[in-house]
């Protein structure tokens, strides 16, 4: 499999990729295609099995997602520290092998109809996922220019989407054919899951052999020397009072934590909501989900470019308000076509604001970049453990609409956390974009 992630050049393109990324950047991104093959199929089918086939409660479904994030919480509590101290390539490979092993566990649990086995495998999946993503995101940051950091993560999302689409088409094709001829044969119905596991093993080995983690991005056209010496870069910057700076940190990271709870509060229940209120045909719903991944894949690099240039305050406010409105429209949609369109809009909004956040976080510190990604992952993991559990309880005890309505109010309430936090911290981040702004003025 050979896929190019370089953007097609147009007449407007004036900046070569060598001024944006290292020569081996595409090799870094390549692993994501293989790693993401099972993302959609596994999440969709496990959710379908637990809620619809095994007739479990919404709270039990929430436990599946909570175990994933519990595993992620444990691994993210130390992997960020390790990513700044030992080989990131080794951590990525271990994470890929962990994900692959968890897929085999899920497959065996399905064959034996073991909900506890699903939970154990979900926990291992979470451990492997954060062992994979935190050091990989650190490598992506090191191999990309600070001016095109969101574009780099847009390419990351592009690769993820390609793998997701390929894996989804293959997985549901096998599932659909098996359902038509041997519907009771779980061995064949879900036989693609161990194939996803093997793909993760292959990706980890390939990454280890092809990527040079010592090759970091060098700025060719700027008087930037030794960016790793952070004190030299910020020595002339006025420093805010300690309490004021601490307030910015608390607000920003509290926002990430509460936002993670909020996402977990409603996101896992979109699929059951659609199956119970719009269309009960799981196969048909899955094919309507697919365009959201396809379109997200196609536009991810463009969204990354947009996030590199967008005002973070305007982007966050606009995305939060529009995202809440779209969520309300989703739970009031009348058919699958409208639902699919709204989900595309919702995913587009989430991708763009995520690129804005990861751009900012990757520039806060160079020496401690892995620790920052790890800390965010810890907070998000705790939030994603709490969120699905609370959402499932609200679904079961209040109404099926309640998790979505509550999430919209929380999303809007979190806007000041991010705006004020970024406002306080932005002037004092290590990788400032002032050089680019100044050069554009001259």
Whichever domain contains 38, its CATH number is 1.20.1250.20
Q: What are phi and psi of 185, to 5 degrees?
A: -95, 90
Residue 441 has pLDDT above 60, yes or no: no
Q: In this prediction, what percent of the chain has a pLDDT beyond 70?
A: 88
User: Pick the residue with more confidence: 336 or 106?
Assistant: 106
Sign of dihedral through CA atoms 23, 26, 27, 29? positive
Domain that holds residue 388: 30-213+235-437
- Average pLDDT in the chain: 82
What is the C-alpha to C-alpha distance for residues 111 and 116, in angstroms, rounded to an integer?
A: 13
The confidence score (pLDDT) of residue 438 equals 44
Query: What does the pLDDT look like over 123-152, one tens digit per residue?
Result: 999 999 989 998 998 899 889 888 888 888
Residue 82 has pLDDT above 70, yes or no: yes
Sign of dihedral through CA atoms 214, 217, 222, 224? negative
428 touches 237 (CB < 8 A): yes
Residue 106 has pLDDT above 90, yes or no: yes
Best CA proximity match to 134, nearest among 301, 326, 370: 370
Query: What does the pLDDT look like over 377-417, one tens digit per residue?
Result: 888 888 878 888 898 889 988 988 999 999 999 999 999 99
62 touches 263 (CB < 8 A): no
302 touches 158 (CB < 8 A): no
Total structural domains within the chain: 1
Sign of dihedral through CA atoms 358, 360, 363, 364? negative
What is the C-alpha to C-alpha distance for residues 379 and 267, in angstroms, rounded to an integer?
A: 17
For 178-240, give the DSSP string: HHHH-TT-HHHHTTHHHHHHHHHHHHHHHHHHH--TT-----TTS----TT-HHHHHTTSPPP
Residue 375 has pLDDT above 70, yes or no: yes
The confidence score (pLDDT) of residue 193 equals 95
Q: What is the 3-state secondary structure (H, E, C) of 230-267?
A: HHHHHCCCCCCCHHHHHHHHHHHHHHHHHHHHHHHHHH
Contacts of 99 (CB under 8 A, 6+ apart): 35, 125, 128, 129, 132, 197, 200
List alpha helices for 310-433, DSSP H.
312-330, 336-364, 369-397, 402-413, 415-425
The confidence score (pLDDT) of residue 416 equals 92
Query: What does the pLDDT look like over 225-251, one tens digit per residue?
Result: 444 444 444 444 445 566 777 888 888
The confidence score (pLDDT) of residue 221 equals 58
User: Pick the residue with more confidence: 410 or 428?
Assistant: 410
User: Pick the residue with more confidence: 234 or 121?
Assistant: 121
Q: What is the mean pLDDT of residues 418-431?
A: 83
Q: How far is CA 434 from the centre of its chain?
A: 28
Residue 437 has pLDDT above 60, yes or no: no
Any domain includes 303 = yes
The confidence score (pLDDT) of residue 360 equals 83
For 37-64, give the DSSP string: TTHHHHHHHHHHIIIIIS---HHHHHHH
The confidence score (pLDDT) of residue 226 equals 43
The confidence score (pLDDT) of residue 105 equals 96
The confidence score (pLDDT) of residue 239 equals 55
Query: What does the pLDDT look like over 267-314, one tens digit per residue?
Result: 888 888 888 888 777 777 777 777 776 777 678 788 888 888 888 888
Query: What does the pLDDT look like over 161-204, one tens digit per residue?
Result: 889 889 988 998 999 899 889 988 889 999 999 999 999 999 99
- Residue 144 bridge partners (DSSP): 21
The confidence score (pLDDT) of residue 337 equals 85
Residue 223 has pLDDT above 50, yes or no: no
Any domain includes 66 = yes
Sign of dihedral through CA atoms 369, 207, 69, 152? positive
Best CA proximity match to 38, nearest among 198, 167, 157: 167
The confidence score (pLDDT) of residue 199 equals 95
23 touches 348 (CB < 8 A): no
Any domain includes 11 = no
What is the C-alpha to C-alpha distance for residues 381 and 77, in angstroms, rounded to an integer?
A: 10
User: Pick the residue with more confidence: 44 or 281?
Assistant: 44
136 touches 367 (CB < 8 A): no
């Amino acid at each position: 499999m050979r896929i190019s992630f370089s953007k097609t050049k147009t007449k407007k393109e004036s900046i070569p990729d060598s001024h944006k990324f290292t020569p081996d950047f595409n090799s870094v991104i390549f692993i994501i295609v293989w790693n993401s093959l099972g993302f959609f199929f596994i999440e969709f089918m496990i959710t379908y099995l637990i809620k619809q086939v095994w007739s479990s409660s919404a709270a039990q479904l929430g436990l599946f997602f909570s175990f994933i994030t519990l595993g992620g919480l444990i691994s993210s509590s130390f992997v960020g520290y390790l990513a700044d101290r030992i080989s990131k390539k080794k951590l990525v490979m271990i994470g890929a092998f962990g994900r692959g092993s968890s897929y085999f566990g899920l497959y065996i649990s399905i064959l034996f109809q073991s909900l506890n086995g699903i939970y154990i495998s979900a926990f291992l999946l979470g451990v492997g996922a954060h062992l994979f993503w935190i050091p990989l995101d650190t490598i992506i940051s090191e191999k990309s220019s600070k001016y095109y950091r969101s574009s780099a993560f847009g390419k990351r999302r592009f690769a993820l989407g390609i793998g997701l689409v390929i894996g989804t088409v293959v997985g549901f094709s096998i599932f659909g054919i098996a359902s038509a001829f041997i519907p009771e044969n779980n061995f064949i119905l879900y036989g693609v899951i161990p194939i996803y596991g093997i793909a993760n093993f292959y990706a980890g080995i390939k990454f280890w052999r092809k990527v040079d983690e010592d090759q970091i991005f060098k700025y060719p056209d700027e008087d930037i020397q030794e960016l790793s010496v952070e004190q030299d870069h910020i020595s002339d910057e006025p420093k805010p009072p300690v309490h004021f700076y601490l307030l910015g940190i608390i607000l920003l990271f509290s926002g990430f934590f509460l936002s993670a709870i909020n996402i977990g509060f409603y996101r896992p229940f979109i699929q059951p909501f659609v199956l119970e209120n719009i269309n009960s045909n799981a196969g048909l719903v899955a094919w309507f989900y697919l365009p959201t991944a396809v379109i997200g894949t196609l536009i991810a690099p463009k969204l990354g470019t947009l996030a590199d240039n967008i005002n973070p305050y305007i982007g966050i406010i606009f995305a939060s308000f529009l995202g809440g409105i779209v969520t309300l429209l989703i739970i009031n949609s009348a058919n699958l076509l409208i639902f699919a369109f709204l989900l595309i809009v919702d995913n587009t909004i989430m991708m763009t604001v995520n690129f804005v956040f990861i751009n900012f976080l990757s520039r806060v510190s160079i020496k401690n970049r892995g620790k920052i990604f790890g800390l965010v992952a810890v907070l998000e993991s705790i939030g994603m453990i709490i969120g699905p559990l609370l959402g499932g309880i609200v679904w079961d005890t209040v109404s099926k609409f309640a998790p979505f309505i509550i999430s919209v109010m929380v999303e809007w309430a979190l806007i000041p956390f991010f705006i004020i936090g970024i406002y306080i911290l932005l002037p004092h981040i290590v990788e400032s974009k002032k050089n680019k702004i100044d050069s554009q003025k001259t």
